[in-house]
Structures are given as structure tokens and as C-alpha cells.
A and B are shown apart, each in its own frame.
Chain A
Amino acid sequence: MRCCRALLIVTATTSLAGCSEMQSALAPGGEEAGRIAFLTWILFAGAGAILLVVAGSLVMAMRGPERLRQALGGERAIRLGGIVFPVVTLAILLGCGVWLMRESLALGRPAALRIEVTGERWWWRISYPGSDGSLLADANELRIPVGREIDLVLHTADVIHSFWVPNLGGKLDMIPGRTNTLRIKADRPGIYRGQCAEYCGGAHALMALEIHAVAPDEFDAWLISTQAPRLGEGIARGQGLFQAAGCGACHGIRGTPAAGTIGPDLSRVGGRRFLAAATIPNSTENLVRFISRGQSVKPGNLMPEFRIFSDEELDAVAAYLSSLK
């Protein structure tokens, strides 16, 4: 008995742990995700009903009255239950799915905003359209305005990745040589977590991102402020070290000579909630850790470990990066 109760507690807590709204397709934050969630519930309900009928038939086929057992064992039952029923049900479901999902693919009307997202091993390159037609580079944290339709233009720089933010929509693969477009719209502000949903190499599990849905005014102000250099105070030493150590050969920071495009853009790295593609919380300690021992944070990533820095220099560089908000 005790054993059963313990089992019940374990099962209940584990299943409840899955009820968090973070990264859940069952907690839609937009129309598209809402439709998917609706379809999911239809599937669950239908599958539950069918399971009940099948289980009932099974019991009847073994224990039921003679007439019922004969009917269940006959060819007619197999024709009806095994061919006609699945064909009809699946056809209805397909029609229902296509009808519900038409919005995500039918891109007849233009979206309010097009944001390019490129999958790289193992992070997300993001590019917003600037007001003057230029592209504003960012990485790993996508900011969108609530209530506006947004087209995410998905590419990959290397292998197949898949873009999936379950609270906002279905997943769409990023395929080499192809451009896929995913339309999303967030109905309520909040932070939605997403993940690469196609195995893309060693650190695939460490390739996540966050979408911050904010009020449209806030978004517009943010986008404008992102075009201008945003340099903090008292960070000259860190900035000097960043430049002299060659960090700018791979990382760009707008408003400074750092113009590299190999690694993630760091213009606003200090303002992100997470580092290393939503892998570790953003803090000076974690910045130091990634700079000096990054291979232990994300094995196989392209960035060499910079152990040439002394502790004091690491702190200075991290302080500089933290100031970029």
C-alpha cells in the first residue's frame, strides 16, 4: 500500500511538473498556437474515445454474450472498424488540420514585420530591419511586439535546425539552401522559450532561445535605441581589452570597431536574460566562465578559450559586456 502511495506521489508530481506554462504547446500565447492547442485537444479527446471503444470491444470479444462475440469476430466488424472508420476519421482530421493550419502558411497578406532568424551551430543569428533599411544584428533573444503579425524568415548557416517556440506556434525546419517563413503573433506580453527541435550536433540540447513579446510602443522604442551605440560608463579598460584581444574579429558591437560576423552580435548582450543561446543565466561570473572556459559550457562551440586573460582582465571584459544593454 505504502509502495502504491509513493508511486502515486511520484507520478503525480512528475506530471504536474510538466504543467508549467514555459515552453508548453498547451499554454498558447497567440492565435496560431491556440489553433494548434485546439487541434491537440481534439486529438486527445478523439484518441481517448477510440481507446475506450477499442478496450470495450476487447472485453466484449472475450467475455461478452455469444452474439456480440460473433459480431465482433466477423468480417463485417473488421471492414467497418478496421477500414471504413479509420479512413473516415483520418480524412476528417486531415481536413480539420489543414483548415485550422491554413493561417500559418497562407501568407497572402503582408506581415507587419519581417525578422530573419538563422540557425547556426549552436545559436540563433537574428536580424531586424532597421528604420533606414539597414539590418540590425542580434542573437539568441528575439523581441517582438504584441498583437502584430510577424514573419520569421528562417535560414540555416550549416545543418538542418528547427525553430520551435511551442507557446507561439508550430515548428518549422531550417533547411540548407531554403528559406522558410513562419508567421507568429503573440496576443499577450511575456517571455516564451523555444528550442532547436532538430538534432544538429553535439551541443544541440544547448541551443535554445527566448522570445520577449512586449507592447508595440516599447518594441518600437527598443528597435530605435538598438540602432544607436549604447556604451556604458567606466568600461574603457574592458573595451580596450575586447578590441586588443581580437574579440571584434568574430563579434560585432555597433558603435565600436568590433564588426565581426562569425559569432553572435554582442551589441546588447548585457540586456539578455541568458547567455550561450539561453543556456546559462546572464551574469558577470557566467560571462567570465564562457570567455575563459567556454568549451566546458558548450562543448564544440567555435570560440577558443581565452585563458590568456588574467582574472582582473576577465572581470574587465565581462563588466564591459554586461554594460551593453
Chain B
Amino acid sequence: MSLLARARSTSLWLLGSWRRLVAALAMLVALGLAGVFLFAWLGVYNVAASTGHFQLFDSFLRFGMENSVRARAPKDTLPRQEDDNLVRLGAGHFHAGCSYCHGAPGQPISPVAARMLPPPPDLSEKVGLWRDGELFWIVKHGLKYAGMPGWPVLERDDEVWALVAFLRRLPELDERGYRALAFGEVRIDPPSGREIATGESGEDAIGACARCHGAVEGPKSDLVPVLHGQPKAMLAGALRAFAAGTRESGIMQTAASDLSERQIEQLASFYAGLSSPPRHNPLPADGAAVDRGAALARHGVPSLGIPACLDCHGASALPSYPRLAGQPVRYLLGQLRAWRAGLNDRSPSGQVMAPIARRLSAEQAADVAAYFAAQPAASVSAGGLGR
């Protein structure tokens, strides 16, 4: 009997009964599973990143990844196109969190990261292939099997959009343009020889902060708070809360996670000792909102359980509370929005502010942000009581 004829008769025999057919399929599945197990157990597969994937397999993985992202990404576009405040905040974080693997204008991809599989792409060539929502989804959630991490804090979509805004700007940037965005124009005074020799220099740490918060000048984005002259205890407390993950911010957790207690003290002292930078953010235009905010800040709304803001955020309050006068309106609004969304409520000072912020309506939050933004920044180290 020829081979063909034998296969034909066997398949007829199998199809002749449901039982035989099901048993044959079950056996096939079992054999398949056993094969997969053997494949892994015997170490047949070479997991070396150095050998790369077969071209076909690589294309298949990419095909699957692209379709998965497209299927899941939101349809949203950037909230405001060409918003420099978003771009600058995103640039500062890109330099801290992304540039090591993805490189940046004037800074090649790290040779270590370049040998990852798949190798992290140069994003200036890639971002054009994705819609805003798709970039947002990738930045927020990361990519399985590719080594691309998700955003440290999944609740802070506002921060993710800042990075997307920067990525849109990235292809146009040359080295100078990139450094201007990511570092600002700030130069730090060189540390003493002793500090460099003992490795105790605060320069790196301050440099990392100054990228967004400025040092001689103020922050270069309205989404970033002015730290100049804030009480030292408040600054140190905030850094500890970010480092411990009890205050939600992907950007600040990244920046604060590897600070030593000594560096935290140094940084807090440094910013507490700076005098207020010249204001560059625009004053709130809505005078009526400022007036409503002033009433709220001075008297609160007792019937709603809202205490007067100035009792804790005025010049003579505890040094563990922030001074809000002169902060950018968009930063204040963003923080109030985070409180009201149920974030930032686990650190010691967060436990005080969170329940109060949740009693504010959206309109009250906007009014009070306008009021504080319109006030002249307080003088250096306003803290009333020594700790």
C-alpha cells in the first residue's frame, strides 16, 4: 500500500468515529505540550541576547507589538500642541529616565543598553511612526519582553503627557536645542576639591534637580514648583516621601530614588538658601478668580469644612509646610488635581492635606491656585519655628 493510500485510510478510520477523532486530537495536544516542555528543559533554545532573533521571528514580534499597541492606545491627542511647559518638563525627565537607553541629541545610546535585545531605538527616528495616544500608551505601560519599563506611577497621566510632548519635539532638536531644553542655562558652582575627592559632591544631585527646578533662575516650566527659599524641612520631607514612594510622581520618584539621606539634607539646604528667582510665569489674568481665591485662602469655607489655606501655607507656618505664594498656577492646579484624585495621601504631610484638598470643588481649586500664583514670592527661608 502506498504511503498516500495508507494516510488516506488512517484518516478515514479516525474520522469514522467522534471518540477516535477527539482522542487523536487530545494526543496531538499532549505531544505538543511535551515537545514544548522538552524544548525548554533540554536548553535547546539559545537565550543569548548577543545572537539576536531570526529576521522572520523579529518581524513577527514587531508585527504583534505594533498591533497590540494600536488596539489598546487611547484616541487622545496632546492636550495642547506646542506647549513649552509640557515639553520642558518632559525633557528634564527624558534626560533622567530615558536617555541612557534611547540616547539623546549629542549623546549616543549607551553601549550597554545598545546590546539589549531588541536594542532600544533612537527615538527621533521612531516617534513619527506613532500617533500621540500610541506614544502615550507605550510610555505609560512599557513593552513586555522589550525591556521597556512602564511609568513608575500609573496614576499620573499628566506627567506621561509631558514626556509625549517632548517626544514630539525630539526629531527637530540638535544638541544645543536639546541641552537648552533639558538642562536650561543653569551652571552650578564647582564643588570644592575635598568634596570631589571624597565623592561627597552634591553637584550631580543638584544638577539633576536644577534641570527642572532651576538654581540661579527659577524653573523653566510652569508645571514645576519654585523650590527657592522653601523651608528646608519641607523640601527634605518631600524628597523622602518621593524616595519612599509615598507621594505619587513618576518624575520625582525617579529623581529622588537613589538620593542618600546626606544628599537629601544637602539639596534641601541648598534650595532653602536660594533667594526667589525673578518671576517668568504669567500672572493669572482673571482678577475675579484671584479675589475669590483670596477670600478662600484667608477664611476658608467653614460650612464645607475647608480651613483657611494661609493658616498652614503662610509665612509663619511650620517649616514642614510649603509656602505657596508665587508658585505657577498650573503647578498648583496640577497638585490640587492630584490630591482630589486621591493621590499623595500617604506621606505625613500628605495625610494632613489630602482630606482638606478633597473638600475643594474644581472651581475653588482654580480660584485658590490663581490667588497664590498672583502673590509675590516670600523671602528666603520663611519658616517661623526652628525644628
Contacts and interface: CB of A to CB of B under 8 A. Distances in A.
A240 B317 contact: no
Contacts of B320: 308
B307 A246 contact: yes
B124 interface: no
Interface string B267-302: 000000000000000000000000000000000101
A249 B348 contact: no
Contact of A249 (B307, B353, B354): B307
Interface in A48-105: none
Interface stretch (B194-202, B252-260, B308-316): B308-316
A302 B355 contact: yes
Contacts of A246: 307, 311-312, 317-318, 321
**Count class of interface residues, chain A:** 10 to 19
A308 B385 contact: no
A261 interface: yes
A304 B352 contact: yes
Interface in A247-285: 248-250, 260-262
Contacts of A250: 307
A315 to B, nearest CB: 15
Contact of A241 (B237, B311, B318): B318
Contacts of B316: 243-244
B278 to A, nearest CB: 29
Given A304-B353, A308-B348, A241 B385 contact: yes
B351 interface: yes
Interface residues of B, number: 25
A261 B300 CA distance: 10
A250 B302 CA distance: 8
B149 interface: no
A73 to B, nearest CB: 65
B108 interface: no
A219 interface: no
B318 A244 contact: yes
Nearest to A245: B318
A250 B351 CA distance: 16
A307 B311 contact: no
A262 B321 CA distance: 21
A162 B262 CA distance: 56
A240 B305 contact: no
Contacts of A248: 311
B317 A245 contact: yes
A248 B353 CA distance: 15
B364 interface: no
B85 interface: no
B354 A304 contact: yes
B351 A305 contact: yes
B77 interface: no
A262 B306 CA distance: 8
Contacts of B303: 157
Interface string B187-214: 0000000000000000000000000000
B99 interface: no
B312 A304 contact: no
Interface string B315-330: 0111011000000000
A91 to B, nearest CB: 46
Interface in B354-371: 354-356
Given A244-B317, A304-B356, A308-B348, A249 B311 contact: yes
B351 A262 contact: no
Contacts of B355: 302, 304
Contacts of B385: 240-241, 244
Contacts of A243: 316
A249 B308 contact: yes
19 contacts: A157-B303, A240-B385, A241-B318, A241-B385, A245-B318, A246-B312, A246-B321, A248-B311, A249-B312, A260-B300, A260-B302, A260-B311, A261-B302, A262-B302, A302-B355, A304-B351, A304-B354, A305-B351, A307-B348
Interface of A: 157, 240-241, 243-246, 248-250, 260-262, 302, 304-308
The 3 residue pairs across chains A and B that have the minimum distance between CB atoms? A249-B307, A246-B312, A249-B311
